[in-house]
Amino acid sequence: MGESRISVGVLGATGMVGQRYIANLAQHPWFEVTYVAASPRSAGKTYADAVANRWHIGANIPEGVANLIVQDANIVENAKGKCKFMFSALEMGKDAIKALEESYAAAGIPVVSNASANRWTDDVPMLIPEINPDHTDIIAIQQKHHGWEKGFIAVKPNCSLQSYMAPIYALKAAGYPVKRMIVTTMQAVSGAGYPGVPSFDMIDNVVPYIGGEEEKTEKECLKILGSVGKDSIENSAFPIVSAHCNRVAVIDGHTACVSVEFADGKKPTIDDVEKIFTDFRGLPQELNLPSAPVHPIIVRHEENRPQPRRDRDADKGMAVTVGRLREDAVFDIKFVALSHNTKRGAALGGILNAELLKAKGFFDNL
């Protein structure tokens, strides 16, 4: 496995998402972690020392990474020659992340990012590989805009919308585009990083506000469902989304209650919808990418599913689980959708993006 793997770095390797990258890349057939970077607080320590007392993953720290010396993510120069491309799981000011990701790209090191800083950059693709794999076409335009020869930036969307984007897209692809929808999310505490929301606020409680989350949930789907234009990704006009985002006392797994209204009065039956969800496949399944779930959407029939504890790890934590599919008295249909926020919604989703980019040849000449 070792020799032929592409060397990769992780920015923010010590954080909640960064640790998932480290754990999930340990056995990856294509990528090997050779570089880890975080804040100046962690720089200079071995990775094991830097995450001592805050390693959140059930498995041990992978041997190949435990003794790597953590670098300061702000010093781009250090990474040159150490890895071919970077995963970015940084949590710092948006402007600082944007500037830093651009510096890595300018240095010829492509960045596959989880951060929100570049999601609304016009020429940066916001990828969910089952939905918009063609958005990678904007990368050549992005490189031309900046004069970058090898480097580029590709991002993944917010974790809050991961559970319902595949279902909404599957409906659109089957000829039933959604016009309007109301989404109420119940989001896990791991979504806030570590240490995140104080336990005193979370235990025995629901917090009906997550800063910036409703705006992201309402807007990002329009870029994801958009198309590649001459100079930028052109947003879709629909669906119009109204979101309520809540933080709940769950460790991992974001749940969304979704009510949708179809466009043009064209409404599938509940049986049609179930079949559309169950049959849905995308390019990652066609290409058999290593992290692709076999079934991107799993439909459950039990009246009390999906549940975070029982369903978040479906198919490596990469499948979305949908249940409670039924008619809606105000809109057309409603359902509950669940996805793992630090797996599909963050690190594994980022790894799937990188697998797509590799399969399309974007890492060939680094």
| Catalytic center residues | 159, 254
91 vs 234, which CB is nearer to ligand NAP? 91
Site string for ligand NAP, 300-339 (x = CB under 6 A): ----------------------------------------
Contact between 14 and ligand NAP per CB under 6 A: yes
d(CA 358, CA 229): 23
> Which candidate, 285, 297, 263, places its Cα nearest to that of 175?
263
* Residues between 159 and 188 with contacts to ligand NAP, criterion CB under 6 A: 159
CB 131, min distance to ligand NAP, A: 17
Which residues partner with 185 through β-bridges? 245, 256
Considering the complex, state which of residue 54 and residue 144 has its C-beta at the smaller distance from ligand NAP: 54
- Take residue 245 and report the two structure tokens written for it: 């985002």
User: Stretches 109-117, 241-249, 286-294, 352-360: which one binds ligand NAP (CB under 6 A)?
Assistant: 109-117
Cβ distance to ligand NAP smaller for residue 29 or 44: 44
Task: Identify which of 101, 112, 105, 111 has the alpha carbon closest to the alpha carbon of residue 151.
Answer: 105
Joined tokens for residue 207: 């917090």
Q: Binding to ligand NAP by residue 15, rule CB under 6 A?
A: yes
Q: Is 42 in the site for ligand NAP (CB under 6 A)?
A: yes
9 near 113, Cβ under 8 Å?
no
Residue count at the site for ligand NAP (CB under 6 A)? 29
List the one residue from 62, 64, 108, 193 that touches ligand NAP (CB under 6 A).
Answer: 193
Q: Which of 16, 126, 319, 322 binds ligand NAP (CB under 6 A)?
A: 16
| Cis amide linkage into residue 293, ω under 30° from 0 | no
- Edge-first strand order for the sheet with 206-207 is 206-207, 240-248, 178-187, 254-262, 333-339, 320-327, 297-299
Residue 35 sits at φ, ψ, to 5 deg, of -150, 130
Nearest residue to 219 via CA among 138, 116, 132: 116
Nearest approach, Cβ of 102 to ligand NAP (angstroms)?
Answer: 15
Site string for ligand NAP, 283-302 (x = CB under 6 A): --------------------
Q: Which of 65, 115, 131, 189 binds ligand NAP (CB under 6 A)?
A: 115
Dihedral over Cα of 344, 290, 125, 182: its sign: negative
Contacting positions for ligand NAP (CB under 6 A)? 12-18, 38-39, 41-42, 73-74, 89-92, 114-116, 159, 190-191, 193-194, 341-342, 345-346
